[in-house]
Structure 1
Amino acid sequence: MAVPGARWSILSLVLVVGLLVGGCAARDDDRLGGDPPAVGGVPNTPPMGWNSWNTFGCNVTEKIVRAQADALVSSGMRDSGYDYVVVDDCWSATDRASDGTLQADRERFPSGMAALGAYLHERGLKFGLYSGASDRTCTQLLGQRPGATGSRGHEKTDADTFAAWQVDFLKYDWCSVDADHDRQVDAFVTMRNALRDTGRPIVYSINPNSGVAVGGDDTVPGAAHDWGGVATMTRFTNDIASAWSNGGGSSGSQGVLDVIDAAGPLTSRVQAGAFLDPDMLEVGVAGPLTDAQQRTQMSMWAMMAAPLMAGNDLTTMTPTVRAILRNPAVIAIDQDQRVTAGAPIGDNREIWTRAIGDKGLVVSMTNRGDRRRLMTVTLSSLGLSGDATVSAVDAWTGKRYDAAKGALSVSVRAGDTALLQIA
């Protein structure tokens, strides 16, 4: 907190940092689809919830989804803000009904999708479904399931069906090696317009990426363009893996650090109702990520003002996983009503800043090394004079740090992130 003797107020600091890191989002000349929000009536802040894919993949069933929904409630996750329950690919039958409408897989979802939505709504949760932006879903395109039940050519019918089932969230997946820009825009805008026409506020989450780059700079479609007028949330990498780093390439799955680095140049696109989607949280998902690295993912998703979509098995999560996912200070940063994303300070990938509230600031310090080390951010890099008096509180530990000799310094464990809030 600033105290008498500081030459700059925290409000001035935030204004300066906004200029330094692009935290005050201006209109991107490359924005597609007009101004956000893409679909009216959805929350201004990033969606939070759970998605079936990371843990259950194509084995998802009605029984599993109901158990996960019950665990969202009993674990306190719902009360922490995680209220969307999104059933990913493989929920539908492999053929449409005789009238051309989508229908649930009869064996795995015997009660049907409307009944599942009612079950979720009765528990104070929201209902999400997946569809493909071509004639097939992703697993059908990859030859893992038969049929052709994507929504291309059926946008109005499917949007009306989703609205009738009381769906609150649609994940819409390109999943094709054909990344033709005009075809992508037409497909995603057509479904956006169909959702708008239903009059139901449905979060529209798109993934334009297809495992291939669109140019010589190794950029995928979700990063090459600002889709903020087309969708509520847009994936800007390919699928995330439960890994610290997979080498940074955009054509395969990305690790946590790879996604963070891909986000850095793009965060000025974020504003109320329009979010970068760094993919689902790997917190609690089977894999090699340490507890510290999982805290880093949670921290940096909050710094991006990103959707927080858990992907773990909620019925078996440990107290440590629950504590990471439910940390109130970190969630408050993510859900800040200012809805601006942070960005790296200069070319330092380990230190980001984000403006929050009327005059607040958050600084993240990520130790990418393999041993604990002292990390430092200078006050001058934050727009403060060297003799300013500043203190900060770590959102993870609650520990207070006071600036000394013109800098804030924190000892950070390997793979971990200090998330310092200055108010």
Structure 2
Amino acid sequence: MKSGAALVLALAAGATAYNNGLGTVPPLGWSSWCVQDVTCGLVDTCTESEIHSVVDAMVLQQMPGLGYKYVFLDDCWASTERDANGNIQPDASQFPSGIPSLREYVDKAEMELGLYTCAGPTTCRWNRTGSGGHYVADALTFAKWQIDFVKADNCHHPHEPPPVYYGNLSHALNISGRAMSFNLCEWGEDAVWTWGTSIAQSFRVGPDHLPVWSFPALQQERRLWQSQLEGLPVSALQAAHPSLSARDLAAEEAKRAERLAWDARMRAAGRKGGLSASLASLERRYAAGLGQGTSDIIEHMAVVANSTSAYGKADPDFAETMLWFLTPFTDSQTEWSFWCLWGGNLLMATDTRWMSAEKSSIVLNAEAINVHQDPTAPPGSRRSIAANKVQLWARDMSNSDVTVILFNPTETNQTAAMQWSDVGISGTPAAVRDLWQHANLQPNMAGFARELEPHQVAMLRLSR
């Protein structure tokens, strides 16, 4: 294991992508964040019986056959206390049969189980047990339970540069004896897109995705859930915790000094052009906010989507597809289109049971999912913005097809138009497939044009 300083230097020098044999196929699955649509984010709990019913619904709708691989428990499963041997454990009132039993149930459905943890000693919600101080022990427990996906949140994190503590957790998972897909959830702070691929199979590039179209960034300096002691001088720690030894205080002071030095380097990089002006601006905006809407994520990913690698995917956060009236059909269809085009994490975080026909038409769209699951295609990128603000995005697929999104971000109807040469196709495509209408369109020498409603997309797959 590298020391903290050595790891930071290695990352700055451009370390190679982290590869444990996983990560080439983008993660596709379901997240428990909204086990029940009516309580999403308000009552963050999940139970064994609920997860069973979600898995049953996914099987009934043949979702594993579409590529859905992970059933992921977010910040809802762990007990607030470790067991007598110091091991992380589930809340017995929610999971009386234990995690291995649940994993077996998911396995029988031909999917894999993922679990949430935190870089700090407690999680972001309800002070459940996090992995801070227990990285190796918890990694061994996850391996013993045969977990396949681990997300590590950033609450109550150590006072060290993020590449250090996330690097330590990554190393613990990597020596556990089981390959696990590691999702680094650092909220998009510290320009994670410049170093995340060296540590994890996927990394969050921004704060939480809220079930809204747009959410203005909040300008407070700290998130509400951060430790009350963070940022206080070490003397305040000593006053609050008299039992801390002089050695512990010195270690804490050294960690904070290293973290402050890291922060200073990041700020200097933004000022001096080490990061582009747009990256520095986005970092300031999103690091201060509590969340972002779908349109905010689209703008953010226009800058950072290309930070992905063959083994490390940029994670725009879970999809809030068709959540009450907050994410209506058009907004949800647009959300799903972009998440597929980017080829990063795509974890559906709304209920799979009792889905409406509209919701089913989105999350069961095999043609869009096929775009997402391409293991070697680079992420989709924004190619142009027209005078009427309509955006053109494209992704070069591994079979030489091109997937295109024409997107109207405005609040009025707009005409979206493109020429085939705009996405690198000479002449006329051999075939034009509308991925939402599920129809073959007649290629036109002049290109393609369609009127789009507010927030609407046209998603096409072009064959050469």
TM-score, structure 2 normalization: 0.76
Do 1:402 and 1:408's aligned partners in 2 also have CA atoms closer than 8 Å? Answer: no
Q: What CA distance in whole angstroms lies between the structure 2 residues aligned with 1:101 and 1:30?
A: 32
Matching of residues 156-171 of structure 1 within 5 Å: 156-171=136-151
- Alpha-carbon contact 2:420-2:428 (below 8 Å) kept: no
In structure 1, what residue type is equivalent to 2:32?
A: S
Alpha-carbon distance between aligned partners in 2 of 1:193 and 1:72, rounded to the nearest angstrom: 33
> Quick one: distance in 1 between partners of 2:316 and 2:166?
19
Q: Which of 45, 48, 54 pairs up with 1:68? A: 54
Partners in 1 of 2:433 and 2:12 — Cα distance?
36
AA aligned to 2:194 is H
State the partner residue of 2:134. Answer: 154
1:28-49 Cα offsets, whole Å, 9 max, x none, are x9678832344x1325110111
Is 1:389 aligned to 2:370, yes or no? no
| Residue 190 (1) aligns with residue 168 (2) | yes
Larger Rg: 1 or 2?
2
Q: Does 1:233 align with 2:202?
A: yes
The answer to whether structure 1 residue 267 and structure 2 residue 305 are counterparts is yes
Q: 1:244 aligns with which of 189, 202, 213?
A: 213
Which of 379, 387, 396 is 1:341 aligned to? 379
What secondary structure sits across from 1:301 in the alignment? helix
Residue of structure 2 equivalent to 1:410? 450
- Larger mean Cα displacement after TM superposition, 400-409 or 264-273: 400-409
Q: CA, structure 1 residues 32+336, in 2 after alignment: closer, same or farther (shift >3 Å)?
A: farther
State how far apart, in whole Å, the 1-side matches of 2:398 and 2:193 are.
Answer: 30
Q: In 2, are the aligned partners of 1:33 and 1:230 still within 8 Å (CA)?
A: no
SS at match of 2:175: helix
Larger RCO (alpha carbons 8 Å, 6+ apart): 1
State percent identity of aligned pairs: 26
1:405 is displaced (CA, Å) by 6.3
The AA in structure 1 aligned to 2:47 is T
Deviations 1:314-361 (A, max 9, x none): 112112211210111101111113231011114567211110023111
- In the TM superposition, what is the alpha-carbon distance from 1:187 to its structure 2 partner? 1.4
CA distance in 2, matches of 1:50, 1:164: 23
Report the CA distance shift for 1:179/1:339 in structure 2 as closer, same or farther (over 3 A): farther
- C-alpha displacement of 1:136: 1.2
CA shift, 1:223, in A, is 4.6
- Residue equivalent to 2:234: none
Distance change (3 Å), C-alpha of 1:33 and 1:60: farther
Is the contact made by 1:37 and 1:231 (CA closer than 8 Å) also made in structure 2?
Answer: yes
Q: Which residue of 1 aligns with 2:32?
A: 52
Which structure shows the bigger proportion of residues in helix conformation? 2
Residue 360 of structure 1: aligned partner: 401
Distance across 2 between alignment mates of 1:195 and 1:146: 23
Match of 2:179 among 197, 201, 210: 201
Q: Does the 8 A contact of 1:32 with 1:229 survive in 2? A: no
> How far, CA to CA, are the matches of 1:99 and 1:410 in structure 2?
63
Q: May I ask how many residue pairs the two structures share in their alignment?
A: 375
Q: Provide the rounded CA distance (Å) in 2 between the counterparts of 1:412 and 1:146.
A: 45
RMSD of Structure 2 on Structure 1 (CA): 2.3
CA distance in 1, matches of 2:361, 2:49: 26
Tell me the equivalent position of 1:36. 17
Q: In 2, are the aligned partners of 1:55 and 1:313 still within 8 Å (CA)?
A: yes
The yes-or-no answer on 1:91 pairing with 2:95 is no
Equivalence map 1:268-287=2 (5 Å): 268-287=306-325
Alignment match, 1:398: 438
Cα distance between partner residues in 2 of 1:33 and 1:203: 22
- Whether the 8 Å contact between 2:383 and 2:393 is mirrored in structure 1 is yes
Alpha-carbon distance change, 193 to 49 in structure 1, aligned in 2, over 3 angstroms:
same
Q: Helix, strand or coil for the counterpart of 2:324?
A: coil
Match of 2:238 in 1: none
Residue type of the alignment partner of 2:450: V
**Matches of 2:28 and 2:186, distance apart in 1:** 21
Distance (Å, rounded) in 2 between the aligned partners of 1:76 and 1:337: 21
Partner residue in 1 for 2:239: none
What CA distance in whole angstroms lies between the structure 2 residues aligned with 1:117 and 1:243?
33
Q: Which moved more, 1:350-359 or 1:153-162?
A: 350-359
- Looking at structure 1, the residues matched to 385 and 410 of structure 2 have their Cα atoms a distance apart, in angstroms, of 17
Question: Does the CA contact (< 8 Å) of 2:402 and 2:423 recur in 1?
Answer: no
Question: 2 CA distance for matches of 1:252 and 1:71?
Answer: 32
Looking at structure 2, the residues matched to 124 and 286 of structure 1 have their Cα atoms a distance apart, in angstroms, of 29
- AA in 2 matched with 1:194: A
Q: TM-score scaled to structure 1, two decimals?
A: 0.83
Q: Partners in 1 of 2:68 and 2:213 — Cα distance? A: 24
1:416 aligned partner, one-letter code? Q
Letter aligned with residue 432 of structure 2: A
